[in-house]
Amino acid sequence: MTADITTDVLVIGTGPAGSATAALLARYGVEVLVVNRYRWLANTPRAHITNQRTMEVLRDLGPEVEAEAMLHATHQELMGNNVFCESLAGEELGRMQSWGTSPESKARHLRASPCEMNDLPQTFMEPILFKTACASGAQSRMSTEYLSHVQDADGVTTTCRDRLTGKDVVIRSKYLVGADGGNSLVAEHLGLPFEGKMGVGGSMNILFRADLSRYVAHRPSVLYWVMQPGADVGGIGMGLVRMVRPWNEWLIVWGYDINQPAPTVDAAMATQVARQLVGVPDLEIELISANTWTVNNCFATHMQKGRAFIMGDAAHRHPPSNGLGSNTSIQDAFNLAWKLAAVIKGHATLKLLDSYSAERAPIARQIVTRANQSIAEFGPIFEALGMDGGVDHEKIQRNMAARCDATPAAEAQRAALRKAIEFKKYEFDCHGVEMNQRYASSAVVSDGQTPPAPNADMELYYQATTYPGARLPHAWVYDRHGGRHSTLDLTGHGQFTLLTGIGGEAWIAAAEAATKTLGLPIRCVKIGPRCDYEDHVGDWAQAREIGDAGCILVRPDHHVAWRAAGPSASSEADLTRVLKQILGH
């Protein structure tokens, strides 16, 4: 088959995964073509919670990319009053300070990252990533639908359909990335192994405009959970009124029984559901759109076949709980893009690419399991309110009202409700799941040390460590003009970095020698008094877990590739051996 188009990497899909991959590859100087079967990007604001790790990827793409995201985002201080109520206008049942807004959690967030968690609807995130990709040199083709592909020893030949002309387009690439979402045809054609089930719950989205300030502005939040009889049917376990833009654009998520046909959500039904959840019988809404979707519990146990890869929802399919979908998709891209660039530029062999699935498939399993578990963990709230089992509205109302009595049973009920709400921090303040991703693969080399003992709860709390495979800890360091930089700013941008301190000159010489032998550029940064950067506050000294004359080799995705506690008599041989293993030589 003769190719109409030739490129290094073909990416199917312009969602968060595909657009991020195209942007990163283009920034790394790799030829990339990204296609989408539709004429434009996301038309509904599905993803919104944007965690610190994702913002670090945007920051790596450029300060202007992070700044543009923050310009459009609802900032953290407006995110945190996670309200449980009978309706927005009705009685509030409880509240949880979430998304890093309680004083304790806020401190942990500030310590963990230079970036702020925020709420950025997908309708803003996708254009930012896509624009960055195109402005950086990526080619794009909309209205172009992936149909099939075949691989051979040297590359992939993909057939797409140009939906404007109806004609087939043949694209020849060295690599293919399937970022084509939860119904991924690429994953299906690759025959990759999946675990779990699709369609375990039915949900509907109702997107509308209405000024609801009077019900919410005094308790700003992204999510208002509505507990009404019947709310635990299907979907994400309860009714949800989600802020899209404060406080006049909203998305309602409401469940339906997956064993019944999906309902047709017309204007009348949408208005009725909105009135019911907002609790205002004559509420007028401006309906923007409505659709149904299914809750999935399914992940790929392997994400690569030969020269083809899957990422994002194509590999992990789960409910929105914890807000992990788009975040993980963008983080998949950060993992794969530098590896593809290293192989395409001739710095690494194909072996490096095997580490993608080894590193990201365990994350897919973890986040799909966490998101589904978070739905089940609404159960104790329903139980504490006496809402579990049955649709006898009067009985449920009596059970809920009983918590206001002056009896020991009511006191126990109030305590149970507080505890059940507090337990939801595993969904709404789950910093460890967001930040503790660690890798074990051929692209990480052990330094012979044992990993740090896990903290009290690795799901809830981030643990900073330079143990190989972990993300490099963030610490503020200072240049000679007083400018403040995160240690993450000194690394990344498509390059390996060697961090060292006073006495680490031999490591820098070793890195320069390795650059010559392997052709791989390595940035060297010395931190200490009168060095490239100063650690005035001592945060870096506390985080680095090595001596001044040791070194930390950091991959382009900020993960620690290897470290040495101190100087070595064979620094050049040590570093070359490590790099050769990582690069698959």
140 scored as a contact of ligand FAD (CB under 6 A): no
Cβ distance to ligand FAD smaller for residue 161 or 577: 161
Smallest gap from Cβ 54 to ligand FAD, in A, equals 7
- Take residue 392 and report the two structure tokens written for it: 């006898």
- Take residue 90 and report the two structure tokens written for it: 């009705």
Cβ distance to ligand FAD smaller for residue 18 or 550: 18
Cβ distance to ligand FAD smaller for residue 143 or 399: 143
239 scored as a contact of ligand FAD (CB under 6 A): no
For residues 506 to 545, the per-residue mask of contacts with ligand FAD, x marking binding by CB under 6 A and - elsewhere, is ----------------------------------------
- Exposed (0-12), middle (13-18) or buried (19+): which is 152, by Cβ within 10 Å? exposed
CA angle 439, 444, 450 (to 5 degrees): 75
- Exposed (0-12), middle (13-18) or buried (19+): which is 62, by Cβ within 10 Å? middle
471 scored as a contact of ligand FAD (CB under 6 A): no
Cβ distance to ligand FAD smaller for residue 318 or 563: 318
SS3 46: coil
Contact yes or no for 485/533 (Cβ under 8 A): yes
CA angle 538, 542, 543 (to 5 degrees): 120
Cβ distance to ligand FAD smaller for residue 48 or 360: 48
Stretch that binds ligand FAD, among 15-23, 55-63, 64-72, 356-364 (CB under 6 A): 15-23
Instruction: Out of 15, 237, 279, 550, name the contact with ligand FAD by CB under 6 A.
Output: 15
Residue reference for tokens 């206001």: 404
Cβ distance to ligand FAD smaller for residue 129 or 384: 129
Instruction: Out of 169, 185, 287, 400, name the contact with ligand FAD by CB under 6 A.
Output: 185
Instruction: Give the footprint of ligand FAD on residues 268-297 (CB under 6 A).
Output: 293
Measure the CA–CA gap between 32 and 567, rounded to whole angstroms. Answer: 41
Residue ranges in 181-266 assigned as alpha helix (H): 185-190, 213-216
Instruction: Give the footprint of ligand FAD on residues 294-353 (CB under 6 A).
Output: 312-314, 320, 323-327, 329
Measure the CA–CA gap between 84 and 276, rounded to whole angstroms. Answer: 15
Cβ distance to ligand FAD smaller for residue 329 or 491: 329
Smallest gap from Cβ 134 to ligand FAD, in A, equals 14
Size of interface with ligand FAD, in residues (CB under 6 A): 35
205 scored as a contact of ligand FAD (CB under 6 A): yes
Residues with Cβ within 8 Å of residue 15, at least 6 apart in sequence: 42, 122, 126, 179, 181, 312, 313, 326, 329
Smallest gap from Cβ 518 to ligand FAD, in A, equals 33
Cβ distance to ligand FAD smaller for residue 231 or 522: 231
234 scored as a contact of ligand FAD (CB under 6 A): no
Stretch that binds ligand FAD, among 173-181, 194-202, 507-515, 555-563 (CB under 6 A): 173-181
Cβ distance to ligand FAD smaller for residue 430 or 520: 430
Instruction: Out of 117, 179, 287, 336, name the contact with ligand FAD by CB under 6 A.
Output: 179
Measure the CA–CA gap between 33 and 8, rounded to whole angstroms. Answer: 8
Measure the CA–CA gap between 452 and 436, rounded to whole angstroms. Answer: 12
Smallest gap from Cβ 357 to ligand FAD, in A, equals 16
18 scored as a contact of ligand FAD (CB under 6 A): yes
b/e sequence 405-439, b meaning 16+ C-beta within 10 Å: eeeeeeeebbebbeebbeebbbbbbbbbbbbbbbb
Helix (H) or strand (E) holding 334: helix 325-344
Instruction: Out of 8, 9, 10, 16, name the contact with ligand FAD by CB under 6 A.
Output: 16
Instruction: Give the footprint of ligand FAD on residues 26-45 (CB under 6 A).
Output: 35-38
- CA atoms 562, 325, 40, 207: torsion sign: negative
Cβ distance to ligand FAD smaller for residue 243 or 522: 243
SS3 153: coil
What residue type is assigned to position 219 of the chain? R
49 scored as a contact of ligand FAD (CB under 6 A): yes
- Take residue 106 and report the two structure tokens written for it: 């806020």
Measure the CA–CA gap between 315 and 337, rounded to whole angstroms. Answer: 16
Instruction: Out of 7, 13, 428, 469, name the contact with ligand FAD by CB under 6 A.
Output: 13
Smallest gap from Cβ 1 to ligand FAD, in A, equals 18
Residues near ligand FAD, by CB under 6 A: 12-18, 35-38, 46-49, 122, 145-146, 179-181, 185, 205, 253, 293, 312-314, 320, 323-327, 329
